[in-house]
């Protein structure tokens, strides 16, 4: 594109948004534009079978020297599907001909939100000695928070209404990270949370919008607690008493973070990850790479 002011712009930065949900996320599109993508090409209802055509469309349209101006973002609410889409996308690149594009996986915002939550905790706690409780650990964000905390050396208790579901997630994390110190526990907000909270210095609530996971009374009954992070942006919040805009606000000696408080950092990480995609054409940004980006901010 040539503007009349005499400037030749480079090829536009095209982001191919592949979303497993029927309609591609508005959130991810807005962030992509604000992170510098010139165009977001959005696809909903994406299945693994549909990936080959998309990757070929990405890698066969521009020469290797311009392929860092095309990238793929994998989103959608289903993290497991996102992981399959990512694996499929990698399979159809042709690196032997220099024909590949960079890919970011952030299904359900799981990688960026989890990275931001763990970074926020790391501001106040030494993660190597942290004893964490992740509430709604079976959800997409909860799984990633647990994984990243475990990788940083924390002792992680995974809480879910059904302990068996939490145990299945613990098993999946252990498959990736055999050294992980993990424990599954039943955590019903309407029941007794004292076992789940015992000895915890960090609690992260990663539940669905509008779901209360930790009542004030339970939070106050845990004397070891130092940091409480709530990732639910829609009132009522997940950790009772916290505000969604809280950013290290003290409540009875506990530093509280709300979704918008963590959200600043999540958004910075998300945007940095999108921007990073256009630096090179050979990146694969998954949980660890996204967390590493967060460390640099």
DSSP 8-class letter at 115: H
Task: Please provide the distance, in angstroms rounded to a whole number, between the alpha carbons at the two ends of the chain.
Answer: 33
By CB under 8 A, tell whether 198 contacts a copy of itself. Answer: no
For the bound state, the minimum distance from the C-beta of residue 160 to a copy of itself, rounded and expressed in Å, comes to 23
Residue 59 C-beta: closest distance to a copy of itself, Å: 9
**Binding of a copy of itself at residue 113 (CB under 8 A)?**
no
Largest Cα separation within the chain, whole Å, is 69
Whole-angstrom Cα distance, residue 293 to residue 2? 34
Question: Is 238 a residue that touches a copy of itself (CB under 8 A)?
Answer: no
**Exactly one of 26, 175, 250, 253 binds a copy of itself (CB under 8 A); which one?**
26
Whole-angstrom distance, CA of residue 109 vs CA of residue 105: 9
Residue range at the interface with a copy of itself (CB under 8 A); choices 29-37, 123-131, 156-164, 284-292: 29-37
Angle made by CA atoms 229, 277, 37, in degrees to the nearest 5:
90
Q: Is 14 in the site for a copy of itself (CB under 8 A)?
A: yes
Asked whether position 267 contacts a copy of itself by CB under 8 A, the answer is: yes
Are 2 and 58 spatial neighbours (Cβ–Cβ below 8 Å)? no
Output 167 or 233, the one with its CB closest to a copy of itself.
Answer: 233
Per the DSSP assignment, residues forming a β-bridge with 131 are: 155
Long-range pairs, 189-195, Cβ under 8 A, ≥24: 189/213, 189/214, 189/215, 189/218, 193/218, 194/218, 194/221, 194/222
Site string for a copy of itself, 130-169 (x = CB under 8 A): ----------------------------------------
Q: DSSP assignment, residue 126?
A: -
Among 15, 19, 20, 31, binds a copy of itself (CB under 8 A): 31
Q: What is the distance between the alpha carbons of residues 124 and 19, in angstroms, rounded to a whole number?
A: 35
Binding to a copy of itself (CB under 8 A) within 51-70 occurs at 53-54, 56-58, 60-62, 70
* # residues contacting a copy of itself (CB under 8 A): 49
Decide if residue 275 touches a copy of itself (CB under 8 A).
no
Residue 11 interacting with a copy of itself (CB under 8 A): yes
- Taking CB under 8 A as the criterion, the residue among 23, 129, 162, 221 binding a copy of itself is 23
Half-sphere exposure of residue 14: CA atoms within 13 angstroms, side-chain side? 17
Q: Dihedral sign for Cα 31, 36, 37, 40, please.
A: positive
Q: Which residues inside 74-103 make contact with a copy of itself, applying CB under 8 A? A: 97
Other Cβ atoms within 10 Å of 57 Cβ, number? 12
Residues in contact with a copy of itself by CB under 8 A are 1, 3-7, 9, 11-12, 14, 16, 23, 25-31, 33-34, 36, 38-43, 45-46, 50, 53-54, 56-58, 60-62, 70, 97, 209, 233-234, 244-245, 260, 263, 267
């Amino acid at each position: 594109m040539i503007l009349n002011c005499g400037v030749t712009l480079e090829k536009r930065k095209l982001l191919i948004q592949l979303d497993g949900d029927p309609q591609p996320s508005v959130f991810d599109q807005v962030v992509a534009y604000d992170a510098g993508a010139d165009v977001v090409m959005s696809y909903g209802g994406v299945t693994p079978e549909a990936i080959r055509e998309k990757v070929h469309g990405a890698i066969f349209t521009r020469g290797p020297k311009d392929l860092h101006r095309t990238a793929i973002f994998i989103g959608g609410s289903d993290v497991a599907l996102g992981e399959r889409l990512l694996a499929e996308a990698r399979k159809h690149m042709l690196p032997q001909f220099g024909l590949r594009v960079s890919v970011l996986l952030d299904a359900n915002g799981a990688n960026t939100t989890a990275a931001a939550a763990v970074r926020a905790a790391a501001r106040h706690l030494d993660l190597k000695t942290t004893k964490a409780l992740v509430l709604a650990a079976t959800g997409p964000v909860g799984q990633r928070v647990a994984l990243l905390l475990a990788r940083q050396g924390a002792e992680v208790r995974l809480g879910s209404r059904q302990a068996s579901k939490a145990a299945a997630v613990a098993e999946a994390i252990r498959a990736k990270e055999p050294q992980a110190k993990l424990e599954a526990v039943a955590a019903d907000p309407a029941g007794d949370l004292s076992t789940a909270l015992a000895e915890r210095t960090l609690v992260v609530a990663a539940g669905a919008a509008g779901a209360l996971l930790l009542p004030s009374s339970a939070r106050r009954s845990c004397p070891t607690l130092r940091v409480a992070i709530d990732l639910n942006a829609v009132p009522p919040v997940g950790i009772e008493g916290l505000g969604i805009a809280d950013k290290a606000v003290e409540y009875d000696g506990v530093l509280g973070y709300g979704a918008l408080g963590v959200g600043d950092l999540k958004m910075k990480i998300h945007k940095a990850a999108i921007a990073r995609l256009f630096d090179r054409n050979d990146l694969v940004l998954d949980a660890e790479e996204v967390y590493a980006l967060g460390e640099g901010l």
